[in-house]
Every structure is written in C-alpha cells, then in structure tokens.
Structure 1
C-alpha cells in the first residue's frame, strides 16, 4: 500500500520559496482549491517530477525545466528548483528528493537542454545506492502505470482509444492496465519457458546431427532453428521500431494539436488563394462575355424606336396577309373550283357564287405580285429587327457588369483576408507546421511498412514452426540414445510452456471479467442516466455503455467518457496488485451537477487516499463538505500573491 505523507516544493513553478503540505494519516479526501493559472496542474506535476523526473503540460507535451523555475525567483537570480516527497510503502518510510539545476558550465541557462535533474532516495533515514534507489522507485510506483494514480481530465479522455484497435495510444494503455493487474508476472514466466523450449529444440537438433541415422534431419532442424532465431530477432527489432514510430506519431499529433491554430490559418490561406484563382478565371470569362455583349450594345439607345417600328411592321404584315388571303378566297369561289368556303368550310350555293363573280373586280396580276413582294419585305424587316433586339439586352449587360464587379470585390476582400493571415504567420511557424505534416505522413508510411513487415515475419515464423514440428515427428520415430534424453527435456519444456501460455489466456479473461463487473458497478453509481445497465469490456479493456435493453450506446459525450474512465480507474484500483493514492486535476470540467455530486460521493471508495485539485466553481466547498462529510480530511487554498507567485494555505 502506497501512501503520500507530505510534499515540499522549492521555487517550483508558481510556488516561490519553500512551500510544503502534509496529508492526513486517516483515509479520505484532501481538496486543493485554486483558480485557473494558480498552480493546480503544477501540483500534479510536482508529484510526477519527484517520482519520474518529468513535467507534462497541455497536449501531453513535455515542459522545459527552464520554464518551471519560479518566475520571481528566477528574476532574483535563482537557477534551480527541488521537490521532496515523503511516502510510505510496504511498511517502510521513504523520502524522495529530486533537484533540477544548470549543467556544469551553464551559468546562464536558457533552455531545457541546459539543465540536469538528479535525485536520491532515503529509506528509514538511510540514503540508498543509485541502482537500488532506481529499483525501489520502480517497485513503489512503476512509471508505466502512473497514469492510473496521477491524471487529469485530458488524460481520462485518452481512455476512449481503448475502444478502437487502430489507435496508437490504445495498445499502450492496455499494456499499462495489464501491468497494474500483475499479468506481466505470468507472461514473463511464459516467455522464460519459451526460451527454455527453444534451447531444448536446439539441443535436439545438435544431438540428431551427431547420429549418422538422423544427421540429415538434424541438419535441417538446425537450419530451421537458426532461421527462427534470425526471424525472431527481426521481429523484436521491428516491433521496437514500430513502438518508437507510434510514440513519435503521438508526439507529432500533440505538436500538431498545439499548432492547430496556425494550421487552421494556413488551411484558410490556401483555401482563400484557391478561391481567388477560381474567381480570376470567372472574371476572365465575364470579360469575354461583356466584350461579346458590347458589340451590339449601341442599339440599346434606339431600342424603343426599334420596338415601335417592329409593331408597325407587324400591323402591316397582318394587313397584307389578310388582303392576300381574302383575294385568294374570293378568286377560288369565283372560279367555282370548290363549293366550300375555305374560311368557314360551309358550302357556297351557286347563286352566291354567281353574285360573287358579278361583284368581284378584276384583280391585276401585277398588283398581287407587288403585294406579295411587300409582304416578303416586311417579314424580312421584322426578322432583322427581332435579331437586333435579341442581341440588344441592356438588362443582361447590366447583370454581366454586376457579376463582374461582385467578383472583383470578392477578390479584393479575400486578398485582404490573406494579407491579414500572413501577418499572423511567420516563416518559421509555417515551416514547422509543414515539416510536422511531412514528418507525420512519413511516419504513417513507415508504420504501414513495418506493420506489413511484422505480419510477413510472423507468417514465416508460423511456416518455420510447421516445418520444425514435422521434422520433430520424423526424428522422434528414429530417436535413440542421447536424443531420447534431449527429446524428453524438450517435451517437458513444451508441456510447461503450453500450460503457462493457456494460463495467460485464462487469467487475462478472468481479469477482464472482474474489471467489467467492478467498472459496471461503479458506473451505475456514478451516472445519472437510469436507462444505462452497465458497461461491456472488449479485448483491449475498452468499455462500452450498455442500455438496459441490451443494446450498445454507440455515441457518447465527453462527459460520459469521463464517467466511464473514472469507472475504469476505480475498477483497476480494486483489482490491482498495487494500491495507492489518486491525485486528479480538474476532473469535473465537462460534467453536470448531478454527475459531479455522485462522483464526489463515490471518490472515497475508489482509493484510500484521494487528492482533488479543483476550482471553487467546479466543486463549491459547501457542496464538497455536504457530499463527503467525515471523509473530507483536509482543505487547502492556492492563494494568489502575484501573477507569478502562489502560496499554499490550509483552511
């Protein structure tokens, strides 16, 4: 059982001079209240620095040691800081001191690389040798599992990656979970037996080579064993390279998130540049259309006269056409070619036809030809005027000019935005962002290549194992003498390895089911949604919310993610080989009042020692006292002395 007794800081971050707090001996909750920028995250980092020599900022990025020296103290000439942590573990008392100071020869340090951090560990008042101290710290709280004891809301959000197999962070969290649950003890035993089995197979191959009857099989088996050794070495190397690539990818993604504003500005600048180019193309098209529309534009000043002339010509066309039609009808009736009137289609009696012939004046053929020529001329003029009017459209021309001017104004506006963006960008920041993007793309390509290589190597190892198994069976039929002894050793090592290999699977499944049950129990106590029945765990310890009808809840909010993550942390504390304090920074930022109240009430049951770093609006003191009652053991305030100076004060 790990318990924190006290923490002392010397010129660390916002805490000027020496400042110390002691935690109550009783089990319960200690709350530190502080407004934004007062030092809550610095307190969390004080624990992290003392234990591991690391300081983490927003986006999970490392913070420069140079920036962690108290600003006012640095102005007074201070060039170092120190954190001392007093704790107890397994019945022993420890005092861990870690100091950061400039490297030798760096009298005026300016950056992280100019500093060195060193530590020493006391147990029972005696300073331990460096190697033993390192082993003791690893035993007290391994860094790989520290995320389940020291965390903030941002770290809780990462647990969502456990639901997805294609994330880089998910596998690392899964490994940390299995470590805190003690699974590596069993897997290391299995791996040790696998090494023993490999050695036994090598000895079988060597024994077979010494026998004339089995020499050929022994040579083949030895070749396969050597091939397996090479393939295994390649696999380990590739997996290490892949782990490094994935870690670098996470770091690049963190840097890209920090530079997201710059990246957004760059993206906006590039988009605006593309839009300006498209507008310029459209302007060219508009200019061509305006040029084509301007050639007949002169007619716009006489368009009214054209329309009046057109109306007169249309009237004259009707008159000429009517006269021609009337003459044609009368002549047809007078000749008696057809007794029906071509207009009304009624039969015209002979007497009527006779009267028509009597009254019909003689029509001069020349007059009729003149009328037809005039009619044709009038129609030609009508067509010409219509054609001119179609190409003479002042409204269309005005629209073209209006679009042209709108495009020009838009280009001017967008170029103005581009200039403003350029003022906010520097060449170095743009270069960094593009460099990160190139490195990220390269990382993705290398990762894919390594994953393919690992899959290919695993395939070759499977083939190798198949060949070795078949050769072993052949050798077993011919075995004798020394080979019998080596074969029995191999069979024993194989049996033990198979037993431990199966045990790993069985134990892992048992752990997953225990975690699922405990996490579900905590989740139902923490959530305010009555329709949720619990949580379902996957192979990587990711937890899915289950509705009471048995269906999954596919989408969940950031607040729900926090509740699920806290349920997982509580379940791990219940089942871990190592139990210790929980130090959590601003855990309620995305939660409503109902969830906050339930979490505060349940926190004391998650661990024996809880340290909450909150601001008062997040968890009002009166509400904390009401919810925790006797389990609230201590309250502290981060008091502002200046923008660069905070002091601890117990309430």
Structure 2
C-alpha cells in the first residue's frame, strides 16, 4: 500500500478545502519531506490519516474533539473532512471521513477508483484493515515521542512484534476455543446429572482449570510488572554509571561484575541441585537396599544351604539311590524300610536346579545393589561438596556486594543519593514480586498436577454414553488445538525475535560508533552488549537510534510477511512509514545514519521535520531519495512585531514559514518539489 495524496478540508489548522499533499510513490525516490515548525500541523497530518482510516489518534494529540478549523466555524462551516487516496495491489482507492460539528460524529466512505469513476465499497472497514490492520497502524504512523517510549510501560517490543505478526487473530481464536471447551464441559454436566462421581470430577476439573488459568494470568501480569521494573532498574543503573562521580562509577561497575558472578554461581548451584535430585531418582532405592543386600549375601552364603545336601549331592543323587534300592555305602535301601523313608525325606531339602539358579541370581543382584549404592554415595558426596562450595562462594559475593553498596551509600553526592533511593525502592519491589512469583509458580505446578489428577478421575468415572463420549472426544481434540496454537505462537514469536535482532545488528554494525551488538532478552527487551557479554549503558541518542532501527526491522518483517499464506496468523503488510519528529535527540552522526537506513528499509517514507531536525547532515544525506517536498506555512492574523519569520533554507532558497497580517489563522501547504 502507498499513499498517493491527502486532502485536508477545514481540518484542525488547515483552513479551506484546497490543502493537498501529493506523496512520492517512486520506488527510488521514495521519500516525501514535510517541513514545519512546532504547532503548525506536522502531528495533525500524521493523525489525519489515522483518523480517516480508524477514527483514532495518537496519545499525544490534544483537544481530540475540536476537529473543525476555528476560522471555518466562525464563517459558519460546521464540518471538516480528510480524504486519503492510496494504491493497493495495483488498484486505486479513496477513503474519506467527514465530521459533523452539530452531532460530533463522523462517517467513513471508501471508493474504488476506476478510470475516474468512484465505485463505493460497502465493506470499507474490512478493506482498510486488510491494507493496514488497525493494531499495526501505530508502527507505521509514528510520533517521535512514541519511538522514544518503546521498551517502556506504554509500548513494549514484545507487543509490537505480536501486533505485526498478527497474533491478535490467533489469540482470539484460542480464547474462542476455550469458551467452546467450557460450554461442552457444561453440556456434559447437564447430560449426566445422575452420574454424581463423574459430575463431581468434571466440576473439580473445571474449577482446577479455572484456577490454573487465573494463576497463569497473574503470572503474566507479574512478569510484565517485573519487566517494567527491570527496565527502570537498568535505567537507574545507567544513570549511576553515567554520573560524574568517579568513585560511584567504579564501585557500580564492580557491583555489576559481582552480581554477574553471583548469577553464574546461582545457575551452577541450580544445576548441581538438579544433579543431586537426578542421583536420588536413579540410585535412591539402591541406597535403602544396601544394608539388605549385605545381609542377603551373608544369608545366601552361610544359612541358605544349611540342611541341604552339598553339591553335587542333590535331587538327582537321591532319586538314583531310591531307584537302585542301594545306598552309596553299599547298604540295601528297600521300599517300606526305615532307611527308604529317611532318604525320601531328603528330597524336601535337596538342592534343585531352580534353587541353584535362583541363588546365583540373588547373589548377583545383591552384589549389583551394593556396588551401585557405593557409586551413588561417592557421586552424591561430590555433588554435595560442589553445592557447599558454591553456597560459600555465593555468600562471599553477597557480602562483597553488600560492602560495595555500603561504600556507594557513603559517597556524599545529592544527585547520587536520590538515584540510590530510587534504586533501592525498585530493587525492593523486584524482590517482592519475585518472591510472589516463586510462590505462584509452585501453586501453578500444584494446579497442573491437580488438573491431571482430575482428568484421570473424570476419565475413570465417565459414563458409557455415546453422546458424552463424543463430547469428551471433542474436548480432547479442542484442547490439542489450543496447545498446538500456543506452541505455534511461541515458536513464531521466538523466530521473529531473532530475525529482528539480527537486522538491528546489521544497522548498528554499519552506523553505531560503539563496538556492541544487540541481544534480545527472554522478556523481549533489547540490550546492548559488548563482546564479553557486559551490558552497555545507552545514551539518549543511542536509545532513539536503537528504537528507530527496531521499528525499521518491524516494517521489513511486515513487508516480508505480506504474502504469507499462513492459515494461522494474519499476513503482514506493505505500508508507508510516516514519522513525525524522527531525529529527536540524535547527534549529527546518528542523524546521518538514520537518514540513510530509513529510506532503504521503507517502501514509502514520509518525514515530518522541524527546521532543527533539518539542519546539518540530514538534507545532504537524504536529498537523492526525495521525490516530493513541502513546507507548511503558518498564517496569523496578528502583526509581526518582534515575532520571527521562521526562515528555513532549502536547496539554497530561503522560505519564511510564518506569515503575518493574514486573513485567517491556520496553515497552508507550499509545494517545493
């Protein structure tokens, strides 16, 4: 999608009906520049497109209910409108939204333009959402302040990625499937009211699943709060590192290193604890059987054979004596005699083949138990020693961190003390939330166990009813779909996260003056890291550069997904990137870099610039990419007096952006190129 032109009629600062901007749709010269001082109409132009398409505004747009130009109202004109003409998939469309002051309401009309003929489209909102889905719009129509708020409480990188990937549709599908599943479970309860055990199990299952979901929602909220607090903590840490107190800077760096070492030791400790549990799972029962195995070997070797005829005098020997009626000593053994009876009784105690085989197996098994028990004790002792060593190291590091923090607190600097108070407050809240989260995760684990138990109980008592069986089967398959959908979202999200990080790194490698790379954490926050893995403190300019690079990566990702055939996620979109006040706190080098990579990574780029943003290297860097250029002229009824003319130099020509003694208060559009 590319915007061809926009027409503003009596909308906000734009008086009368001939306020038209033709945007560049050229593939090479894909940039449209609009120059204006603050308060003249840059933000209005950005918001006019957002309002025309979705009847919404950016958060910083003031007086949202005052849309009709003030001078127009004085002249009796009580309506305003915005028309946006755009190209999409080789066709031309027009979207017009009109606002009536009397009713304070607006209505939208969308047309397909065919050889100058305007053909109305009934499904106007559906068409606009297919061009730029509403949840993606805020990443294409961006205010500079919005860019600087990325990775804050208002906007998160994770939400941006999920919006551009079209997760809203998938999440809504998952919610709908949950509702359907619950409805089916309710139907089973109704159809099987007489089956008390099954009904009880199903009721308890529904309750357990509801409790699990409630806890998962709480877990998500706590993780989000922790994410915001962690960002605030990093911001405070950066401010302490960047403060001009040298001792504080060095101490804080040492604290960072000690905390990283402590984190590594904690990870090692967790690994050793898991190793210890694994040893218990594998060998634990053998330890309890160790003493039994020793006693068993003694019993087998000394007592088992007591009263038995020693090998080879076993069952075969006894039978041979009886059949020959003659003892091995030569004495006669006749049937019915006392000798015969005594020898027959020996059969009850004679060694058989089975007895000998079982004795050998028992001896072997007892020996194995004893050997593995000794191995377990050795490995368990090694693991315990490692755990004790790690606990001592962690304790030493905690003591070191405590001492370093005490040194930091003793530094007599007012600004540093205020930062430390804020840091401690954030750390306390993080600790409190982490404790709550740990308890909640244990509760979630118990809930999962309870859900599985209740499922087994429900299956055990499920009535042998055809209808109930079919509903239960549907519940089973819809749960499989829910699980598949959640896994698909997670996989796609992680894949896109790394693709975006790689693209941002490409930009930073070319243009950043520092040798660092971007790493996206598990909570979807970008961190700048050195080669040794240490986190880099970001300046305000670097934060803005990073966020602009991220938004460019988002737009590239959306364009790459515009032809996606996924039946699961919404396809991406190709749309103009419109930025109001993009360069903010960037220095000259970073402005030049941004002027280079923004046009390269946008199909159509519209920059709304004040003269302070235009000065310096921006014009020289971007001039070969500019296809259209305008200046917004501020008209004032008042006399000039000491007020400035707000002169701007473009291609060597001086243009006054403020005109005085005019017939109206408002803005007009001057085309430069």
* Match status 1:41 vs 2:53: no
Q: What is the distance in 1 between the residues matched to 2:207 and 2:462?
A: 23
2:257 corresponding residue in structure 1? none
2:485 corresponding residue in structure 1? 500
2:503 corresponding residue in structure 1? 518
The within-5 A match list for 1:505-584 is 505-527=490-512, 529-532=513-516, 534-553=517-536, 555-576=537-558, 577-584=572-579
1:476 corresponding residue in structure 2? 459
Shift of 1:565: 0.8
1:612 corresponding residue in structure 2? 607
1:635 corresponding residue in structure 2? 629
SS at match of 1:618: helix
Change (3 A) 1:183 1:539: farther
- Say if 2:519 and 2:529, in contact at 8 Å, map to a contact too: yes
Change (3 A) 1:200 1:463: farther
Shift of 1:83: 1.0
2:158 corresponding residue in structure 1? 174
The within-5 A match list for 1:340-351 is none
Mark the runs of 5 or more structure 1 residues left unpaired by the alignment.
105-114, 162-166, 247-450
1:22 corresponding residue in structure 2? 22
Q: What is the distance in 2 between the residues matched to 1:530 and 1:49?
A: 40
Change (3 A) 1:238 1:84: farther
- Say if 1:29 and 1:632, in contact at 8 Å, map to a contact too: yes
Q: What is the distance in 2 between the residues matched to 1:648 and 1:546?
A: 45
Q: What is the distance in 1 between the residues matched to 2:128 and 2:23?
A: 20
The within-5 A match list for 1:41-440 is 41-56=43-58, 60=60, 62-66=62-66, 68-104=67-103, 115-124=104-113, 125-129=118-122, 132-161=123-152, 167=153, 169-170=154-155, 174-199=158-183, 201-202=185-186, 215-224=195-204, 227=207
* Match status 1:649 vs 2:640: no
Shift of 1:204: 5.8
- Say if 1:55 and 1:62, in contact at 8 Å, map to a contact too: no
Change (3 A) 1:170 1:40: closer
1:626 corresponding residue in structure 2? 620
Shift of 1:36: 3.0
- Say if 1:202 and 1:222, in contact at 8 Å, map to a contact too: no
Shift of 1:611: 0.4
Q: What is the distance in 2 between the residues matched to 1:181 and 1:465?
A: 30
1:585 corresponding residue in structure 2? 580
Q: What is the distance in 2 between the residues matched to 1:143 and 1:496?
A: 27
Q: What is the distance in 2 between the residues matched to 1:551 and 1:452?
A: 26
SS at match of 1:100: strand
Change (3 A) 1:64 1:208: closer
SS at match of 2:138: helix
1:362 corresponding residue in structure 2? none
- Say if 1:159 and 1:542, in contact at 8 Å, map to a contact too: no
Q: What is the distance in 1 between the residues matched to 2:540 and 2:140?
A: 21
Q: What is the distance in 2 between the residues matched to 1:209 and 1:462?
A: 31
User: 1:79-107, CA deviations, whole angstroms, 9 ceiling, x for partnerless residues?
Assistant: 33211111123444321111222225xxx
Change (3 A) 1:500 1:159: same
Shift of 1:202: 4.9
Q: What is the distance in 2 between the residues matched to 1:500 and 1:56?
A: 32
User: 1:500-554, CA deviations, whole angstroms, 9 ceiling, x for partnerless residues?
Assistant: 3222222221111111111222233342x1322x21112343211122333111x
SS at match of 1:87: strand
Shift of 1:200: 5.3
Please, what is the CA RMSD of the aligned residues? 3.9
Change (3 A) 1:117 1:472: same
Change (3 A) 1:236 1:487: closer
Shift of 1:238: 10
- Say if 2:79 and 2:99, in contact at 8 Å, map to a contact too: yes
Q: What is the distance in 1 between the residues matched to 2:601 and 2:444?
A: 44
Q: What is the distance in 1 between the residues matched to 2:130 and 2:49?
A: 16
SS at match of 2:10: strand
- The two structures have a TM-score, normalised by structure 2, of 0.55
SS at match of 1:65: coil
Q: What is the distance in 2 between the residues matched to 1:463 and 1:547?
A: 41
Change (3 A) 1:620 1:45: same
Q: What is the distance in 2 between the residues matched to 1:191 and 1:633?
A: 46
Mark the runs of 5 or more structure 2 residues left unpaired by the alignment.
226-433, 559-571, 637-659
Change (3 A) 1:204 1:457: farther
SS at match of 1:139: helix
Shift of 1:466: 4.1
User: 1:288-341, CA deviations, whole angstroms, 9 ceiling, x for partnerless residues?
Assistant: xxxxxxxxxxxxxxxxxxxxxxxxxxxxxxxxxxxxxxxxxxxxxxxxxxxxxx
Q: What is the distance in 1 between the residues matched to 2:441 and 2:11?
A: 49
* Match status 1:601 vs 2:600: no
SS at match of 1:574: helix
- Say if 2:99 and 2:107, in contact at 8 Å, map to a contact too: yes
- Say if 2:202 and 2:454, in contact at 8 Å, map to a contact too: no
- Say if 1:181 and 1:572, in contact at 8 Å, map to a contact too: no
